[in-house]
Amino acid sequence: MITSLFFLAILLVGVPIGICLCLAGVVFILNSGSTVLFQSFPLQMFAGVDSYGLIAIPLFILIGEIMNSGGITRRLVELAMAFIGSVKGGLAYVNILANMMVASIIGSATAQVAIMSQVMVPEMEKQGYDKTFAAGITVYGGMLGPIIPPSVMFVVYSVLAQVAVSDMLIAGIIPGILLTLLFFVVIACMGFFYNYPRSEYRTLRQRARTALGASPTLLIPIVIVGSILGGFANPTEAAAVGAVAAALVGRFVTRECSFATMPRILLRSAMYSAIVLFLVSAAAVFSWLLIYGKVPQAVAAWIQTVAHDPVTFLLLTNVILLVIGTVIDGIPGLIMTVPILLPIATEVYGIDPRHFGVVAVINLVLGLMSPPVGLSFFVASAVTGAKPGKMFIVTLPFFIISCVALVVLSLFPSLSLGLLK
């Protein structure tokens, strides 16, 4: 109890989550009187990041930074426009499709929302869309970032759950495509009530020329996802090749990324990677102390009084994680909940850890789009000037369909595990 109160107190005053976890661990050890545990404290922190799979995280982050600097995002948007053509609400469809393409490179929801808000919202405003709706739909498009591979959250979950990184990345493909299609359905239904403008008409020749000019940018996701699915490379190797491909595309195709800017790109990537890896290291200590304090067993005993079967457990988990996701960012949310809930899911209810990982990640990402915090809405607001509260209300159908998708994914594990051998 003392440890929990201390953790909540320092978290509420704004102490970074990684430091909160470490300090809470110190308080737990002092409160338990088992000071001998301090001898293993640094070893547990090191063991948390002593994993080959974690090398993929800095490389995926590097790919996103290169893409942002190399004008690759804009080319992918142009490619999406060529695919969609002139239809009612065309730019809304383009927004989601472009986000899906960008998601196969960036792997982070908030980073993707920040980038795509700069690209898509002004273009949609120019075509006559309401700025609040344009910013809101960009936020839900950004939800695809941590779901479609590569995904930093799936890599972190893989390390926490001790499952293959490639399995988790592949498990996100069908759910990501499903969410994209459901968002298309929502746009089509909303089109009956709102007079969305048609996208600009382009001849078949113009669309073919645009697609041909932008198609080299698809080399990056093809290299990353294709090499993993085909078994030619593991996620770390695929990320390394993808980073080289992104640098070459940015330098020789879009010609907006010079090698002179690489030191700055590498520095930004290293800073963000250090933050993520410190969180993982702190999570290792947190998990170790939870197990020592028999917290998972206590939580399991309580949950079993409420949930009597795997489906009920997953639906209860959906509610718990969604609430946590509204106030805590995705990776810290995983770090705090997976060590407690995963052993219950696998050992008590026999749920596949990869299926549980997909449900957990999507829940926490959806929390980024939910009040009272809704971090992604605030990121979009900072970029576009739209009000976060209005964004949520205007795009409420997207939130509802995302919740429906979560229930469907919980009921049908094959949607997550279908592509796995």
CB burial readout 61-75, b (16+ within 10 A) else e: bbbbbbbbbbbbbbb
From CA 314, how far away is CA 407, in angstroms rounded?
A: 9
Domain residue spans in the chain? 1-39, 40-417
From CA 291, how far away is CA 150, in angstroms rounded?
A: 30
Residue 358 binned pLDDT confidence (cut-offs 50, 70, 90):
very high
Helices (H) and strands (E) in the chain, counts: 23, 0
| Range in 104-113, 260-269, 333-342 the model is least confident about | 104-113
- Cut 0.85: pTM above it: no
Mean local confidence (pLDDT), 348-369 = 90
Helices 310-327, 295-306: axis angle to 10 degrees equals 120
How far from each other are the two terminal CA atoms of the chain, in whole angstroms?
44
Per-chain mean pLDDT for the chain: 82
Phi and psi torsions of 254, nearest 5°: -80, -25
DSSP state of 260: G
From CA 79, how far away is CA 246, in angstroms rounded?
A: 17
pLDDT of residue 282: 82
| Range in 5-14, 55-64, 72-81, 176-185 the model is least confident about | 72-81
Residue 106 binned pLDDT confidence (cut-offs 50, 70, 90):
low
Q: How many CA atoms lie within 13 A of 290 on its CB side?
A: 24
pLDDT of residue 104: 64
pLDDT of residue 181: 92
pLDDT of residue 362: 92
pLDDT per residue as tens digits for the range 277-317: 887 788 788 778 877 887 777 777 788 888 888 889 998 88
pLDDT per residue as tens digits for the range 146-203: 888 778 788 889 888 889 888 898 899 899 999 999 999 999 888 888 887 777 777 7
From CA 124, how far away is CA 82, in angstroms rounded?
A: 16
pLDDT of residue 402: 93
From CA 224, how far away is CA 221, in angstroms rounded?
A: 5
Mean local confidence (pLDDT), 335-353 = 88
